[in-house]
Amino acid sequence: MILIHTPNPKEVDAYLALFRAARPQRRFIALDDQADLSQVSQLIAWGPPEGLLSRLPRLQAIFALGAGVDKLLSRPDLSPATPIYRLLDGGMAAQMTEYIRYGVLGYQRNMDVYRRQQAAGQWRMLAPRLPGEVSVGILGLGEIGSAVARALAHDGYLVSGWSRSPKRIHNVHSLHGESGLEKLLERNQVVACVLPSTPETRGLLNGERLSLMQPGSMLINAGRGDLLDQRALLALLDNGHIRCAQLDVFAEEPLPADHPFWRHPAVTMTPHIAAITLRERAVEQICAGLDRLERGLPADGLVRRDDGY
């Protein structure tokens, strides 16, 4: 029996319909079906309620309905033995590419400055810049970050990327390690973060590291909110060292109504929508994973629990 859960009951219904149509021979259930949870062998979920995992004694695998599994991994009711599979791309890489490309293009064309000039009633032309004059550093070169880096390099930007292991991506300068991170922050006009939240990356973008960014640079964070010291960013935006920020993820979501980011002239905010799970793609990938596990084969997207992503 396969249990499907997300916090939104309408979404659960939509997933149930898709999974049942894709694999009619399997039994998919929702929590409110009053089924015997002791028979659940797989859980397909996003944000399962506290304590649910310990009510599933026969659980063999969890399929996360997203790319980031930080919340799931920090659950006290998660058994260390249960394998977790996450979504690989699932249409998210293309959306994230659009999100980051939008920010980079806006920066290249000085749209943030023009917005502020408009508010101040100023008519002032700035020197145009070509993509080849704008350097972009991508933090995280996984399923999503590598697609973003490739696309921006194709657009003609000068692209570097940072990951744990070195990468070979056409026209993308690969950096790794602490010294690689410092270089990336120092050398790029736009820094875009698509890292996962792990014990190693939480708090990575602290005041000291953010201060390494070039004067007049831009920060985009679409990884996770806890990677970034929000107060430090605010101070650097206030003193003009960092020119603007495009933020999709926050330490607390929704961001509290009195947070200064809401009204900051240099901040563009979005409510964690940079790349959302596309249901059909998720169902396709998870069904393929279920089939492979049934045949005793490894499924794609296995989370390396020790690495936290």
The binding site for ligand NAP (CB under 6 A) comprises: 67-68, 92, 140-145, 162-165, 194-198, 200-201, 222-224, 248-249, 272, 274-275, 309
Q: How many residues does the chain have?
A: 309
d(CA 111, CA 117): 10
Q: How far is the CB of 82 from ligand NAP (least distance, A)?
A: 19
Kindly give, in sequence order, each residue whose CB lies less than 8 Å from that of residue 219, ignoring residues fewer than 6 positions away: 190, 191, 192, 193, 205, 210, 213, 233, 242, 244, 245, 246, 247
Q: How far is the CB of 268 from ligand NAP (least distance, A)?
A: 14
Nearer to ligand NAP, 173 or 224 (CB): 224
| Chain position whose Cβ is nearest to ligand NAP | 142
Dihedral of CA 274/219/142/200: which sign? negative
259 is catalytic: no
Q: How far is the CB of 55 from ligand NAP (least distance, A)?
A: 27
Question: How many of the other CB atoms lie within 10 Å of CB of 54?
Answer: 13
Sheet containing strand 242-247, strands side by side: 172-176, 158-163, 135-139, 190-193, 217-221, 242-247, 267-269
Catalytic residue among 86, 150, 209, 224: 224
Q: How far is the CB of 135 from ligand NAP (least distance, A)?
A: 19
Nearer to ligand NAP, 135 or 201 (CB): 201
d(CA 191, CA 268): 15
Nearer to ligand NAP, 29 or 255 (CB): 255
Catalytic residue among 272, 279, 281, 292: 272
101 is catalytic: no
Provide the greatest CA pair distance for the chain. 68
Nearer to ligand NAP, 52 or 205 (CB): 205
Positions annotated as catalytic residues are: 224, 272
